[in-house]
Structure 1
Amino acid sequence: MQITVVGLGKMGLNITKQMLDKGHQVNGFDINTSVRESFSHANLTYLDDLAVLKDASDKNLVLLLLPAGPITQGMIAQLAGTLKSGDTIVDFANAQYQVSIEAANQLAAVGIDYHDCGLSGGVHGARYGACMMLGGKETASKDLLALLSSLCVANGFQAYEGIGSGHYLKMVHNGIEYGMMQALAEGLELLKEQSHYQYDLAEVTGNWEFGSIIESALLSNIHAELAKDKELSSFTNQVAASGEAKWMIQEALEEEVAVPTIALSLMKRNASLKALSFSNQALSAMRYNFGGHKEF
């Protein structure tokens, strides 16, 4: 296989570096050419135009590490007219699984194999060993399975049957992540605001990191930040949502499965983006109207 990574941002470049460490020859492509100035390697070839893949003597394996949505969809449309029958695309975008199914059908019409793949572990995972959930197991070659497995931590790779199954799993994975993060954040806020004891939150999270039931990568993440700054003063109180939790909640409604914790964690994020919540103003107005509670 001739391996090409399209999208050399934080995740794409780090997966590329991991493959280079393992001795692979890799092509890299990104519309932002500044990456070429920041990193070079004897086994890495930067491409100026993906059209050269049409003339490759080996089968092409293209790893897409682009943002979900129009950018990835546009690249898939471009590759549909560029790659050869028998080539393979693995899409790591956090896309809706229905979009992945549409992409697979589009590419199958020209003989190109498509796999969706959920990727977890962040930048560190991409560089040193991730967790991956590959969709479309029934059409995956042994070489592809071996390559992706080698980029994961031990037992961190699994292939699943059905196009879209990898991105469906990543959707649910990220929804669970929202709920876990919210629970940790709320607990830490209570510890910070309560009036009984003086807790060093870096010390507390460091304590909980070892042997506690809530020991986790997320706990380690917040401990690392609290150890640098106990007030987290470089962070705002606004928290964006990237879409997966919303899709999961929509799916849960369709399937009539209750996911209240994840739904509330998403609503909490959405509320954080409001500079001034009108609903809070409405609550204050009602309290004033019936009880004379003046809050203005």
Structure 2
Amino acid sequence: MELGMIGLGRMGANMAQRLLRGGHRVVGFDPDADARAAIVSHGGEAAASLQELVGLLAAPRALWLMVPAGEITDRTIQSLLPLLDAGDAVIDGGNSNYHDTLRRAQQAAQQRVDYVDCGTSGGVWGLAEGYSLMIGGDAAAVERLRPVFETLAPAADRGWGRVGPSGAGHYAKMIHNGIEYGLMQAYAEGFSILRHKAEFGFDLHQLAEIWRHGSVVRSWLLDLTADALAKNPSMDGIAPHVADSGEGRWTVAEAIALDVPAPVITQALLERLRSRDDDSYADKLLAAMRNEFGGHAVKRS
């Protein structure tokens, strides 16, 4: 099968390589000339514009977007849709908000273009291990694209599937990332407690390796944690600042909208926000209050 890949950043380029290895024809477009040259070096083709990309693909076309969520995705779609014909398909593999996906799917439907949302997990390991694909959209369109999904997934019969209509794929990926927040926070807190129990002198990497095999808390995240602890057990040179992609916030907002309690995911998000406050006014005020009511000492900066 042939596919147009729009966005040849690290993840898009890796997905293109996996498709090429699977025998698909991939034509890539990226504003960066070096990114276009890279896909050619791996056996793909490159287009210098969206117009050229569409012209190089036979109908019905399939174009995979791997660009940052939000305004860039909107601009790309607005430029792309006028170039497409009825029966073509656009797959959004980024971390788009599902509300945006529903709007874009309606816009595409006006031109009888299939809009498929594909929540994609696997990160930098996807090229070697395969990607977990949560797919939303018209069932017939997803079936036509089956060869692409089977190649990108860990295996043809696992790690991917159509989970519902338009928006369902990105919704499932949003919740996936919310769960990820909670898992990561639990691992981080547990290893922090172990590190602070200085009298036992725990080797955190050793413990992570023990837990990786047979333990009920074993997981791919624990595998990656073990790798990180092997490289830098004291986390030297790493600032205690944790960013978020936005999907944890969306997950918490959905929980509130649906009246579903999600305390672990919510607290994990709040801990990330807290990590960015280098000069916490709230903590200063807490110290001042303790001094006021109990005469407790205040640590001066």
2:16, 2:39 within 8 Å by CA — same for their partners in 1? Answer: no
- Structure 1 position 54, deviation (Å): 4.5
Identity %: 36
Number of residues of Structure 1 aligned to a counterpart in Structure 2:
296
Distance (Å, rounded) in 2 between the aligned partners of 1:54 and 1:78: 11
| TM-score under structure 1 length normalisation | 0.96
In structure 2, the residue corresponding to 1:153 is in which secondary structure?
Answer: coil
* 1:179 has 2:179 as partner: no
Code of the aligned partner of 1:80: L
Q: Does 1:60 align with 2:50?
A: no
* Change beyond 3 A, Cα 1:223–1:134: same
State the distance in 2 between where 1:84 and 1:246 align. Answer: 36
Residue number in structure 2 paired with 1:167: 170
Higher deviation after alignment, 112-121 or 227-236: 227-236
Quote the RMSD (CA, aligned, Å). Answer: 1.5
Residue equivalent to 1:201: 204
Match of 1:257 in 2: 260
1-structure distance, mates of 2:237, 2:128: 26
Of 96-105 and 130-139, more deviation after overlay is shown by 130-139
Aligned twin of 1:88 = 89
Q: How many angstroms does 1:95 deviate by? A: 1.1
Match of 1:10 in 2: 10
Deviation of 1:57 after TM superposition, in Å, equals 3.4
2:125 maps to 124
Q: In structure 1, what is the Cα distance between the partners aligned to 2:9 and 2:266?
A: 30
SS at match of 1:23: coil
Q: Structure 1: how far apart are the matches of 2:21 and 2:104?
A: 31
User: Could you tell me whether the CA contact under 8 Å between 2:242 and 2:273 is conserved in 1?
Assistant: yes
- 1:35 maps to which residue? 35
Residues 127 and 195 of structure 1, relative CA distance in 2, 3 Å threshold = closer
SS in 2 for 1:158: strand
Question: Match of 1:103?
Answer: 104
SS at match of 1:212: coil
Distance 1:4 1:76 in 2: 14
The residue that corresponds to 2:247 in the other structure is 244
Does the 8 Å contact 2:27/2:53 carry over to 1?
no
Which of 223, 230, 233 does residue 230 from structure 1 map onto? 233
Per-residue deviation at 1:235? Answer: 1.9
Runs of 4+ in 1 over 6 A off after TM superposition: none
Deviates more, 1:248-257 or 1:137-146: 137-146
SS at match of 1:262: helix
- Give the gaps of 5 or more residues in structure 1: none
Q: Which moved more, 1:107-116 or 1:146-155?
A: 146-155
Partners of 1:292 and 1:87 lie apart in 2 by 71
Q: Which residue identity is paired with 2:106? A: N
Say yes or no: does 1:272 pair with 2:275: yes
Instruction: Spell out, residue by residue over 1:246-272, the C-alpha distance to the aligned partner (whole angstroms, 9 max, x if none).
Output: 111111111100000000000000010
How many Å apart are 1:68 and its aligned residue?
Answer: 0.6
Paired amino acid for 2:296? H
The TM-score with structure 2 as length reference comes to 0.94
Residue 282 (1) aligns with residue 274 (2):
no
Partner Cα separation in structure 2 for residue 141 and residue 202 of structure 1: 43
Distance 1:38 1:121, change over 3 A: same
Q: 2:193 aligns with which of 186, 190, 193?
A: 190
Q: Deviations over 1:225-252 (max 9, x none)?
A: 1111111213210001111111111111
Distance, in Å, in 1 between the alignment partners of 2:58 and 2:92 is 23
Question: In structure 2, how many angstroms separate the alpha carbons of the residues matched to 1:39 and 1:144?
Answer: 21
